[in-house]
Amino acid sequence: MGVDKAVIPAAGMGTRFLPATKATPKEMLPVVDTPAIQYVVEEAVAAGLDDLLFVTGRNKRALEDHFDRNLELEEVLAEKGDDARLRLVERSSDLARIHYVRQGQPLGLGHAVLMSRHHVGPQPFAVLLGDDLIDPRDPILPRMIDVRERLGGSVLCLMEVPREQISLYGCAAVEATGEPGVVRVTDLVEKPPVESAPSSLAVIGRYVLDPAIFEILADTPPGRGGEIQLTDALQRLCHPGVPGGGVHGVLFTGRRYDTGDRLSYLQAVIQLALEREDLGGPLRAWLMGRLGLPGGE
Ligand code: UTP
């Protein structure tokens, strides 16, 4: 069966961004002028995934409104003849078929994925996290879907990170497959201490999962931080002989922007704004001025 559904968990507490996330999901925080989650939705659609399921929490209104029509705003912009902004407003409601399921309590990413079981059914599906923005010039999902279709099982997106940062991520132990850029994942550990991490390969927020994950998640006790961890369930799928098992990793070497914590979020915003035609020049000059560099304003 092909992959055409994507699950986008957006029910976390976003505690690292309080108070901004008191009434707004962190996935709605703007990266330059577009909510992080819209970049993720556009990536899914570009990869041919046209059925999207958001797992939402207590503040789902902002998400639903963003991907719905806003007739009043559209009318005002049309009356003013502001076609460019009108197109921007219409775009987010025309992107894809979006469905919603509620995660009553934020019991962890694994639990959020489990909430999608009924909607997804017995077919492989993608999961995309709003914390990781993948540059559209370096798409990785199509490659992951291709690996799933050829090799079966589940597929992770792995990225080499500086060794001292591996304790911030899920970490994969891997062996070669003979195919460049594709490895077999033999073990997974969530946020290991640097000394005992099996590699410097971090699990990034893109997954293509076999539906066997649901049975395992339903039976996965809370792990690190008292949350039901997706990594713990995936770890069980790494073991040989587990039905629906087999986990591969696709190595990602492209441009990725982390929006998960405040510093990396600010870096992502600046990086992406510097690349914008309308903002890049003046922002660069201002930054150089702030840093006392020649040519700055
Ligand atoms: P994070 O752990 O980064 O999100 O989860 P968080 O818990 O909201 O962040 P902090 O640490 O409190 O700041 C990764 C992804 O999983 C979703 C989040 O919305 C995010 O997209 N998630 C996490 C859920 O949907 N439900 C949960 O119970 C936990």
pTM above 0.85, yes or no: yes
Domain boundaries, the chain: 5-290
Among candidate residues 258, 152, 123, the one with its CA nearest the CA of residue 202: 258
User: What distance in angstroms lies between residue 31's CA and the mean position of ligand 1's atoms?
Assistant: 18
Of ligand 1's listed atoms, the one at least distance from the Cα of 131 is 21
H/E/C letters for each residue in 169-204?
CEEEEEEECCCCCEEEEEEEEECCCHHHCCCCEEEE
Of ligand 1's listed atoms, the one at least distance from the Cα of 103 is 26
Ligand 1 pocket, CB under 6 A: 9-16, 26, 55, 103, 106-109, 111-112, 129-131, 260
pLDDT of residue 7: 98
Answer whether 178's CB lies under 8 Å from 165's CB: no
Q: Is 263 exposed, middle or buried (0-12, 13-18, 19+ CB in 10 A)?
A: exposed
User: What distance in angstroms lies between residue 138's CA and the mean position of ligand 1's atoms?
Assistant: 25
User: What distance in angstroms lies between residue 192's CA and the mean position of ligand 1's atoms?
Assistant: 18
| Residue of 7, 8, 13 best suited for mutating to test ligand 1, as the one with most atoms within 8 Å of CB | 13
In the block, which residue shows the tokens 């976390």? Answer: 12
Instruction: Tell the residue nearest (CA) to atom 10 of ligand 1.
Output: 14
Answer whether 95's CB lies under 8 Å from 41's CB: yes
pLDDT along the chain (297 residues), means of 10: 93 93 92 95 95 91 90 92 91 87 94 97 96 94 97 97 94 96 95 94 97 96 88 92 92 93 94 95 94 82
pLDDT of residue 268: 94
User: What distance in angstroms lies between residue 112's CA and the mean position of ligand 1's atoms?
Assistant: 9
User: What distance in angstroms lies between residue 70's CA and the mean position of ligand 1's atoms?
Assistant: 28
d(CA 58, CA 5): 23
pLDDT of residue 225: 84
User: What distance in angstroms lies between residue 13's CA and the mean position of ligand 1's atoms?
Assistant: 6
Answer whether 68's CB lies under 8 Å from 114's CB: no
pLDDT of residue 297: 76
Of ligand 1's listed atoms, the one at least distance from the Cα of 10 is 19
Answer whether 170's CB lies under 8 Å from 205's CB: no
| Residue of 18, 29, 101, 109 best suited for mutating to test ligand 1, as the one with most atoms within 8 Å of CB | 109
pLDDT of residue 59: 79
Instruction: Tell the residue nearest (CA) to atom 18 of ligand 1.
Output: 12
On the question of a cis peptide bond just before residue 9, with omega within 30 degrees of 0, the verdict is: no
User: What distance in angstroms lies between residue 121's CA and the mean position of ligand 1's atoms?
Assistant: 23
Instruction: Tell the residue nearest (CA) to atom 9 of ligand 1.
Output: 14
- Supply the CATH classification number for the domain 5-290: 3.90.550.10
pLDDT of residue 186: 96
